[in-house]
């Protein structure tokens, strides 16, 4: 299991956007991503 921190996406992102961001961060092909789980999701109010 790998933990990715500080993955920044817009508040209205889709599930496909999240998957694409994970694949890009890991530098892998889409078919190599077996699964993922969102452990914690936060919103920074300073950026709004």
22: number of Cβ within 10 Å: 17
Read off the tokens for 38: 């969102």
Sign of CA dihedral 2, 35, 25, 29: positive
Q: What pLDDT is recorded for position 28?
A: 96
Tell me what pLDDT residue 32 has: 96
pTM metric for this prediction:
0.81
Q: What angle do CA 37, 28, 47 make, to 5 degrees?
A: 55
Q: Dump pLDDT digits (tens) for 2-41.
A: 899 889 898 899 999 999 999 999 999 999 999 999 887 7
């Amino acid at each position: 299991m790998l933990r990715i921190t500080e993955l920044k996406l817009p508040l209205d992102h889709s599930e496909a956007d999240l998957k694409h961001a994970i694949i890009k961060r890991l530098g892998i092909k889409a078919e190599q991503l077996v699964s993922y789980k969102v452990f914690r999701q936060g919103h920074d109010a300073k950026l709004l």
